[in-house]
Amino acid sequence: MKYSFYDDYSEGVAPELLDYIASNNTDQQRGYCTDDYCVLASERIRAAFDMHSADVHYLPNGTVANVVGLVSMLKAYEGVISVKSGHINTHEAGALEATGHKILWVDSQDGKLNPELIEKAYASYEDEHTVRPKVVYITQPSELGTLYSLDELRAVVDSARSKGMYIYMDGARLAMALASPLTDIRMKDYGCIGIDMFYIGGTKNGGLYGEAMVILNKDLKSDFRYHIKQRGALMAKSRFMGQQFARFFDEDDLYMRLAVNATSSATKLAQGLHGLGVEITENGTNQLFPVLHNDAITRLSEQYGFYIWEKISDTQSRIRLVTSWATSELAVDELLSDLTGILAEGE
C-alpha cells in the first residue's frame, strides 16, 4: 500500500513532541497529573484559549474522556442528548450506558445539533417515568466532518441553557476545526461562549496519546479527579501527557501548525478530486467523503487505504479519505495522479 488515508491515528508521533519528551526525561516528577509539565501545559492551554479560570485535566483517550466528562455532569437518572451519529452513541461500545446513563438521540442530516433537534429530543421528558435530559453533547467538527459556526454554536448553547442543561463538547478533532477556513469560531471563543466542558484532542493531531479536558463551569470542578480515578483514567506517569500539551501550545504554535497540515492537505485533495469531476463536498476539515464508481474504488484500494462509507447506488459509493498532520504533498499528488489514470481507464 502506497499510503493510508484510513484515519488520523495511523501515523506515529509528531517528532517535536518526542524531542521534548526526550529532552525532559531525567528529572523526577510527582504523578497523577500533579507534575510540573501538566501544570505548565494547563497554563499554556488557558492562555491560548483565553480562559484564565478553567481547570484542565489529562486523560488517555477520547472515549474515556467522554465517559468521565459526561458522568461528572449527571445524576443517576439523567441522560445526554446527542445526534444519532455522535461518537458516544455509535462507536464507544455503550461505554456511557455502562455507567448507567441513557443517550437520548435524534437523527440529524448534517451530524450537528440545533435548537429544533434539541427541542425534539427534550420532548421525550415527562417526569420520573422518563430519563431527564441534562447534558447536550456536541462534537466539533462533527463525525460527518461538518462544522458549527459561531452563531450555530451560540444557538445550541442558548437552547441547552434555557432548559437547564449543560453543554459538553467532544473535541477529538478540535484541532482541525481550529485550522479550518470554514468556521468563524476562533480558539478564544470556545472559552467564553457558554460551553461547560470540552476536551482538546491530542491523539488525532500528532500526539502519542492523551486528551486535555477543560472545565469552564465552576460547579463541575470540585471532584473531577474522583471521576477520573474511578473510571480507570488517572495516569500515574502523567508527565508525558503534560509534556505533549506543553509542547503543543508552546510559542511556536505547534498544535495549529500540525492541524493546518491536515486541513490544507484535505483542501488540496478536495480541489484535485473536484478537478477530476468527482462529486465531493469540501467541509473544511480533514475528512473528505467523495463519491466514486465502485470499479474505481476497487482499483484505488489496491494502492491506498480508506473506508467505504456508504452505498450511493448499485454502481457508486461514498468513501472516506482522512488526512493528518503527517500527510505529505507527495501522498496527495500521487493519489490524484493514480486516480486520474483509473478514471481515464474507466471511461
Burial profile 9-28: b = 16 or more Cβ within 10 angstroms, e = fewer = eeeebbebbeebbeebeeee
Specify the 3-state DSSP secondary structure of 296. helix
Rounded distance, CA 41 to CA 27, Å? 17
**Are the C-beta atoms of 75 and 230 separated by less than 8 Å?**
no
Q: How far is the CB of 333 from a second copy (least distance, A)?
A: 17
Q: Based on CB atoms, which residue is closest to a second copy, 76 or 344?
A: 76
Cell of 299: 482499483
Can residue 310 be called a binding residue for a second copy (CB under 8 A)? no
Q: Based on CB atoms, which residue is closest to a second copy, 61 or 294?
A: 61
Q: Which one of the spans 73-81, 113-121, 160-168, 310-318 is the region binding a second copy (CB under 8 A)? A: 73-81
State the number of CA atoms in the 13 A half-sphere of 185 facing the CB: 23
Query: Total number of residues binding a second copy (CB under 8 A)?
Result: 75
Q: Based on CB atoms, which residue is closest to a second copy, 29 or 294?
A: 29
Q: Based on CB atoms, which residue is closest to a second copy, 183 or 231?
A: 231
Q: How far is the CB of 183 from a second copy (least distance, A)?
A: 24
| Plot region of 94 (φ>0 → left; ψ -120 to 50 → alpha; else → beta) | left
- What is the footprint of a second copy within residues 192-251 (CB under 8 A)? 203-204, 207-209, 223, 225-237, 239-240
Q: Based on CB atoms, which residue is closest to a second copy, 63 or 265?
A: 63
Interaction pattern, residues 145-164, with a second copy; x per rule: CB under 8 A: --------------------
Which residues, 6 or more positions from 196, have their beta carbon under 8 angstroms from its beta carbon?
73, 166, 167, 168, 215, 216, 217, 220
Cell of 128: 420520573
Q: How far is the CB of 258 from a second copy (least distance, A)?
A: 14
Q: How far is the CB of 324 from a second copy (least distance, A)?
A: 10
- What is the footprint of a second copy within residues 12-31 (CB under 8 A)? 12-13, 15, 18, 21-22, 24-31
